[in-house]
Amino acid sequence: MDGIIPLYKERGMTSFDCVSRLRRILKTKKIGHSGTLDPSVDGVLPICVGNTTKVVEYLMQSGKEYQGELVIGKATTTEDFDGDVVETKPVEAPISDEKVKAAMEKMTGEIIQIPPMYSAVKVNGKRLYEYARAGEKVERPRRKATISEFAMCRNEYDDMAQEQHVYFKVKCSKGTYIRTLVADLARALGYPGAMKWLTRLESGGFTLDQTMSLNDVQDAVAHQTIDRHLYPIDYALKEYPSVELTEDQWQAVQHGGWLKKDELSTTANEVVLKYNGSTKALYHLTSQGYKPTKMFSVK
């Protein structure tokens, strides 16, 4: 079985939980996901099955979109509501839409983030959350992220709790910590803050309305209709131009051979090579010609 399943990951499950259950449902070990979601986050989690595990990295390169809620007035150890509250500051008057939007605008484009202590980033061979659980401090690496859109969907003031609730949408590059982004937004507004909930709306070119739940997958397998729901390997490579190979070219590509620049009807830096309509390889252009980046099939 080969193909990509745009899975809907429910809250309360880890990404590995999803993979483990799918291995049992699909009766195969060759499964990988493209981009971990925290247990408290739901939404789009593209799953690669069989030969399509070779394109996980290309799915991960695509941008992601999220929606969620930031609570301004309290900070936690994890920057979301899974952690313990470590700081509070009453929001004594509503924060205006204009002020929130102006702060968001300053946080778009390329930014530098420091990952939260409760994250899977490795430092000296250990994950940050391992240091955090042991009560140890360690210098965290600074990371670049690109925020293409950071928009306010709704802005509400809770006068009883003296908190501001900002509902937001984010479009960003891979590796962005949304928890950190919104906690930094609260700081920019002069308060501690933590993310209450988060949903991933898009990942790997898949949107929420394309997803299947684990129960949907199980039902499709039971009714022998799962093939109808699998996306081909091409879906992960749709941003690249493709070229159909001749018989002679395919013979060379089967053995990892290079192709001359003028052999292919393209000048693209990277190109998908097909034979008989089937995707076989991704090649990239060098000064000597086109060289293999990744082989997907030699049959």
Strands 242-244 and 270-275: parallel
> Residue 66 class from Cβ within 10 Å (0-12 exposed, 13-18 middle, 19+ buried)?
buried
- Rounded CA-CA distance 26/4 in Å is 13
Residues 6+ apart with CB under 8 A from 196: 68, 69, 70, 71, 80, 81, 165
**38 given a catalytic annotation:** yes
Task: Identify the bridge partners of residue 80 per DSSP, sorted by sequence position.
Answer: 195
Catalytic one of 2, 17, 38, 82 = 38
- Rounded CA-CA distance 159/167 in Å is 17
- Rounded CA-CA distance 197/273 in Å is 42
Task: Identify the bridge partners of residue 65 per DSSP, sorted by sequence position.
Answer: 171, 202
Task: Identify the bridge partners of residue 164 per DSSP, sorted by sequence position.
Answer: 72, 157
Mapped onto helix, strand or coil, the DSSP state of residue 142 is: coil
63 near 171, Cβ under 8 Å?
Answer: yes
- Rounded CA-CA distance 230/33 in Å is 14
Known catalytic residues are 38
